[in-house]
């Protein structure tokens, strides 16, 4: 029986803890924590390894709008800082209640660009106790790719993973054609990106090209917020974003794009998952139904066209979009449609995962390897 394309693959599932249950005791598994502070949202996961996956023990997500004025002023506003510190206090409280063996707390584009980013991080440290790490675009892209590794097709030769964030968009094109199909997911999970060289090869996965565009849903929306006509604004955002991709030339043989078996595109972002939820007609967002599904270009086009035609008020009240994302979905859709126009593919794999999952996979893998090495040393 053919697999239903609207259901996530089994290897893509990250199993959540059942509601109402108490967090497992430490003896049931070591805990890891990952926090991602982006331009628009603050999200954290606490999880424990479970085979090749992990089980979520606790989670936090809040729209903080850290960088709504960064395009105009170049700095973080006082109101945005206070909103974000409030959310980070909740994260700090959750972390204090769990005995984690490893944690990673990162900040991305807004803190990279803001003139007062350093002062903000010092303020966060003094008021919440959290020591945030501002990561480079290369590391942001790597973590996004690592999180999507379980969704990589064993038949794919060329792979494009993109992450549409609040303040930036990362694209990574990889050649995995010469890797054993059974090992392609593992090779992608071990990916490394090095900005000093054009291509990096690790365990056979070769980065053909990489780019981080300093435009995401929040910053692109802010740049064209004064254009009242929605169709014109959508077209301008799409055109402007495409202009920023001129230096990204990953592959000359575009014939491969017509072969959905050999070329795979994976999108990870709130934009992509919102489009998928709207396609499925969900009245309430359900990660289990969205993560891992495959959408055709025609299905995406139909959803985006409907979103643009709805207008601001109707989008605000659409349960598939959500009030927090209603204002930003048009900017995200413009980016998504631009990518599909430049690299027209028949299918897009949807990933409800990102930096947090990438950090968890990396920390758990490193911790397991260190324990194995220690145990081997004790036995010799």
Task: For residue 25, name the pLDDT band (cuts at 50, 70, 90).
Answer: very low
List the one residue out of 92, 108, 139 whose CA is nearest residue 219: 108
248 pLDDT tier (thresholds 50, 70, 90): very high
168: how many CB neighbours lie within 10 A of its CB? Answer: 24
Q: Which tokens hold the place of 377?
A: 């040393």
Q: What is the per-residue pLDDT for 259?
A: 78
Span 147-165, mean pLDDT? Answer: 94
Q: Identify which has the larger pLDDT, 307 or 15.
A: 307
d(CA 288, CA 286): 5
Give pLDDT tens digits for 289-312.
Answer: 999 999 999 999 999 999 999 988
Q: Would the pLDDT of 201 be above 60?
A: no
**What sign does the CA torsion over 308, 312, 314, 317 have?**
positive
Q: Which long-range contacts (CB under 8 A, 24 or more apart) does 235-244 make?
A: 237/330, 237/331, 237/334, 237/335, 238/334, 238/335, 238/337, 238/338, 238/341, 240/215, 241/169, 241/213, 241/215, 241/334, 241/335, 241/338, 242/338, 242/341, 242/342, 244/213, 244/214, 244/215
More confidently predicted of 369 and 227: 227
Q: Looking at residue 204, what is its pLDDT?
A: 62
CA distance 268 to 349: 9
For residues 12 and 147, give the distance between their C-alpha atoms in angstroms, rounded to a whole number.
Answer: 10
Percent of the chain with pLDDT over 70: 87
**Number of separate helices (H) and strands (E) present in the chain:** 14, 13
Sequence-distant (≥ 6) Cβ neighbours of residue 259 within 8 angstroms:
none
Judge whether residue 369 has pLDDT over 90.
no
The answer to whether 28 touches 341, Cβ cutoff 8 Å, is no
Closest of 29, 24, 52 to residue 101, by C-alpha: 29
pLDDT at 147: 94
- Predicted TM-score (pTM) of the model is 0.85
Looking at the DSSP assignment, which residues form a beta bridge with residue 205?
202
SS3 content of the chain, % helix, strand, coil (to 5): 45, 20, 35
Task: Count how many residues are written for the chain.
Answer: 380
Dist CA 97 CA 99 (whole Å):
7
- Asked which of 9-23, 242-256, 366-380 is least confident by mean pLDDT, the reply is 9-23
Helix (H, G, I), strand (E, B) or coil at 185: helix
SS3 89: helix
For residue range 318-350, list pLDDT tens digits in order. Answer: 888 888 888 899 999 999 999 999 998 889 999
Phi and psi at residue 131, to the nearest 5°: -105, 95
End-to-end CA distance of the chain: 50
Once rounded to an integer, what is the mean pLDDT over residues 209-214? Answer: 94
What pLDDT was estimated at residue 72? 87
Nearest to 332 by CA among 313, 307, 349, 352: 307
């Amino acid at each position: 029986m053919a697999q239903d394309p609207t259901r996530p693959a089994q290897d893509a599932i990250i199993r959540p803890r059942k509601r109402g249950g108490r967090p497992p005791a430490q003896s049931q598994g070591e805990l890891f924590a990952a926090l991602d502070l982006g331009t628009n949202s603050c999200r954290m996961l606490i999880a424990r390894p479970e085979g090749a996956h992990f089980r979520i023990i606790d989670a936090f997500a809040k729209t903080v709008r850290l960088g709504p004025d960064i395009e105009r002023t170049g700095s973080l506003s006082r109101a945005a800082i206070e909103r974000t510190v409030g959310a980070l206090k909740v994260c700090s409280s959750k972390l204090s209640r769990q005995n984690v063996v490893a944690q990673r707390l990162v900040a991305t584009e807004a803190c990279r660009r803001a003139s007062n980013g350093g002062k903000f991080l010092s303020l966060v440290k003094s008021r919440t106790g959290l020591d945030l790490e501002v990561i480079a675009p290369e590391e942001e892209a790597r973590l996004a790719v690592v999180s999507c590794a379980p969704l990589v097709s064993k038949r794919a030769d060329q792979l494009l993973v993109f992450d549409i964030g609040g303040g930036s968009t990362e694209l990574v094109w990889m050649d995995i054609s010469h890797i054993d199909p059974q090992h392609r997911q593992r090779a992608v999970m071990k990916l490394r990106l090095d900005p000093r060289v054009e291509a990096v090869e690790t365990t056979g996965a070769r980065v053909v090209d990489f780019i981080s565009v300093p435009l995401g849903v929040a910053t692109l929306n802010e740049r064209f917020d004064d254009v009242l006509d929605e169709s014109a604004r959508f077209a301008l955002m799409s055109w402007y974003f495409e202009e920023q991709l001129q230096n990204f030339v990953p592959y000359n043989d575009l014939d491969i794009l017509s072969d959905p078996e050999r070329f795979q595109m994976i999108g990870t972002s709130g934009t992509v998952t919102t489009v998928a939820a709207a396609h499925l007609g969900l009245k309430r967002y359900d990660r289990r139904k969205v993560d891992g599904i495959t959408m055709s270009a025609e299905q995406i086009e139909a959803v985006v066209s409907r979103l643009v035609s709805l207008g601001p008020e109707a989008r605000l009240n659409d349960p598939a979009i959500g009030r927090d994302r209603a204002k930003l979905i048009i900017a995200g859709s413009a980016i998504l449609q631009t990518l599909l126009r430049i690299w027209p593919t028949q299918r897009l794999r949807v990933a409800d995962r990102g930096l947090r999952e990438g950090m968890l996979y990396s920390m758990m893998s490193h911790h397991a390897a260190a324990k194995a090495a220690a145990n081997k040393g004790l036995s010799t």
